[in-house]
Amino acid sequence: LMQSTDYQTNCADGTRRLLKMDLKKAVFDAAKDGKLRKLKYLLQNKSYEEINYLVSFLTEKTTPVLISCQNGHFDVVEYLVEKCNADVEQIGSVVFDGEDIEAVPPLWCAAAAGHLAIVKYLIKKGAYVNSVTKTNSTPLRAACFDGHLDVVQFLVQNNANIEIANRHGHTCLMIACYKGHYDIAQYLISFDANVNRKTVKGNTALHDCAESGSLDIMELLLKHGAKMDVDSYGMTPLLAASVTGHSHVVEYLIKLPIISTKERIDAIELLGATCVDKKRDMSSAINFWRRAMLVRYEGGELIHPKPMYLSRIAAYENCVEVTTFDQLDSLVSDPDAMRMQSLLVRERILGPAHPDTSYFIRYRGAIYADSGNFERCITLWMYALDMQQQILEPLSPMTQSSLLSFAELFSFMLTDRRPHVAVPFLDVINVFDKAVREVDSGIVYLHRLPSNERDHTCFHRTLVILLHLIYILTRIRDHLTPQEDYLLKKSVYKLVKLDPHGKDSSSLLHMACAKDTSIAGRYPLCSFPSPQVVDLLCEVGTCVGARDMYGNTPLHIAAMETPVLKKSIVKCLLEHGAHFDAVNCEGKNFLHYANEFDMSIIPNPLKYLSLQCLAARVIRQYKINFQGGTIPEALESFVSMH
């Protein structure tokens, strides 16, 4: 009783502080930290409507029930459900293993965190055992992910569907295999889990075992009828084990009678390439390649020759794969030749469509760049970019990543103070042209999709990267020959002619005037707003009066988003015909925003004011009807923008 009195006294002392706090946040924090007495105090004397509002309110994208389920506070969960009538199916977002999970129900939270008592309680209270998140992940799959066998067993015994896959087609058995949870995999198989289910990309549970190195589960799957099959990239579980470097899995699989000689050779050779690029273990690579060659030469005679290339690859310095033991021995003293050998082997076995093929080409290029050999880096990256644009669909994140890497490399070269380091114009313009091609094909690709399936995120990012490449080109423009400058303007004109628009229907000129364009990747690359980029875009004829979805012109953006209004940008836009009196959807013009800055840096507006503009402003000011044939139709849009 004394403790209760003391607690009430302390709470009374804190009443004034609570009045100043957000009550919703206080309720959430109490649930989060498992402070039941504080939670009861906060909710006492509240109406049913108030309590319902507080216990279902989203704080940090989640609710008190969800956070208490995640953190294992059984008494708090019980109180919120029993006394506050909290909905056991309410959803929110939570963070597990550093990943944001959206549209999560309480049962999923408790199962993912392994809180069996809460899982049992929620099921008792009617929570749907097969409820799913935004990505179609069930509570059972969540429990399988982190190996909570007791939760898995309880959910299955309460009619959880073991075959419900997430949006990628990845099942509970697959995630147990990938995470190496033998006991869970064994339990699911005992309930007849399908060992041959495929994901959207054709992966099976055997692929997951191979990629994670879970040999014991792989043996279990094979014992229960799992079949070796290929995924959408043509990868078998054997090749998947080679790519990830799990030699113990490779050694086990190549002894199986179902594995052909060619498959055995490819797996061993690919494992050698993995040793070079992933493990930097040259000695093991040589040993694996020697083993593969011994299989090719049965009894000293070449029985299984490598396929012959019709042409050599310049990006690999015209290297060819070794075909004899003498050639293989010569690699030992030439690490660079070994690295090229691994790229050749990987491309032959995996093919250009596999992500690892272009990834390791880019990785090798990055190593060269780190050592200052930018030319070799650019050559390899260009080869990888060409490969991606030929194979991947437009606006692929992988292609976008390659374009961004080029922009980052060229930007670094601009700031590199070492002698003889210059940004090569022909390489930059070549990458720029390839990026323009990506935008062109991206416009066609998006147009073909239904409007509700169009995601402009990658398209916008590609435009941002293009603007960074333009920025880099303007930085070296003073050193260009007349012919090179002509090529520059011609390429930028091709982009402008496409009239691409990013998020919020922003034109290239809008984006060139916005500070947010400085962020192309994880950190600022080039500085925006950029007078040089604005000037070049205007020079090739971009529309200075373009409007975004809010009716803003590039002049509006220049005034709104620039910490220090740049006179050169304003002057350039006005000189190319921008109307400083054009209004946006809020009826505000450039001067409305520019007045917040030092007016001395703004050019004399009268110089850019015409009688047409004055007349249009009068029509708008006095709300004179000008539509329906009163004035020529061509003038209606002109009047409307003032």
pLDDT digits (tens, 9 = 90+) for 57-104: 999 899 999 999 999 999 999 999 999 999 999 999 999 988 999 999
The closest alpha carbon to 288, from 322, 247, 260, 258, belongs to 247
Residue 3 predicted with pLDDT over 50: no
One domain, residues 265 and 120: no
One domain, residues 156 and 279: no
Residue 492 predicted with pLDDT over 70: yes
Residue 580 lies in a domain: no
SS3 77: helix
Which domain-ending residue is among 319, 351, 383?
351
Which tokens belong to 508?
């290239």
| Distance (Å, whole) CA 456 – CA 474 | 27
pLDDT at 616: 65
State the pLDDT confidence band at 562, using cuts at 50, 70 and 90: low
One domain, residues 3 and 145: yes
One domain, residues 125 and 10: yes
Which domain-ending residue is among 302, 332, 351?
351
One domain, residues 5 and 149: yes
One domain, residues 155 and 264: no
pLDDT tens digits, residue range 206-238? 999 999 999 999 999 999 999 999 999 999 999
pLDDT at 601: 55
Tell me the sheet residues that pair with 302: 297
Average pLDDT over residues 255-274: 97
Which residue range forms the structural domain that includes residue 16? 1-161
Burial label, 551 (beta-carbon count in 10 A; 0-12, 13-18, 19+): middle
Residue 483 lies in a domain: no
| Distance (Å, whole) CA 210 – CA 218 | 8
* pTM reported for the whole predicted model: 0.84
Q: At what angle do helices 282-296 and 335-350 cross, to 10 degrees?
A: 50
Which tokens belong to 567?
């006179």
**Averaging pLDDT over each range in 409-418, 562-571, 612-621, which range is the top one?**
409-418
CATH of the domain at 147: 1.25.40.20
Which tokens belong to 471?
């920025």
Which domain-ending residue is among 130, 161, 192?
161
**Contact of 604 with 576, CB cutoff 8 Å:** no
Residue 169 lies in a domain: no
One domain, residues 141 and 18: yes
Q: Which residues contact 165 (CB under 8 A, 6 or more apart)?
A: 136, 171, 174, 197, 199
pLDDT at 45: 87
One domain, residues 7 and 146: yes
One domain, residues 10 and 137: yes
State the pLDDT confidence band at 301, using cuts at 50, 70 and 90: confident
Residue 75 lies in a domain: yes
| Distance (Å, whole) CA 274 – CA 107 | 41
Residue 195 lies in a domain: no
| Distance (Å, whole) CA 118 – CA 123 | 9
Residue 416 predicted with pLDDT over 90: no
Place of tokens 């998947």: 240
Please provide the average confidence, as pLDDT, over all residues in the chain: 90
Residue 622 lies in a domain: yes
Q: Which residues contact 462 (CB under 8 A, 6 or more apart)?
A: 395, 400, 403, 435, 438, 439, 442
| Least confident range of 75-79, 113-117, 422-426 | 422-426
pLDDT tens digits, residue range 565-617? 678 888 899 889 888 788 888 888 887 777 655 556 555 666 767 777 666 66
Residue 641 lies in a domain: yes
pLDDT at 603: 58
The one-letter code for the residue type at 386 is D
92-96 and 297-298 strand pairing: unpaired
One domain, residues 34 and 154: yes
User: Percentage of the chain surpassing pLDDT 70?
Assistant: 90
Provide the domain count of the chain: 3
State the pLDDT confidence band at 19, using cuts at 50, 70 and 90: very low
| Distance (Å, whole) CA 400 – CA 457 | 11
pLDDT at 222: 98
The one-letter code for the residue type at 432 is F
The one-letter code for the residue type at 61 is K
**Contact of 162 with 172, CB cutoff 8 Å:** yes
Residue 334 lies in a domain: yes
pLDDT at 4: 47
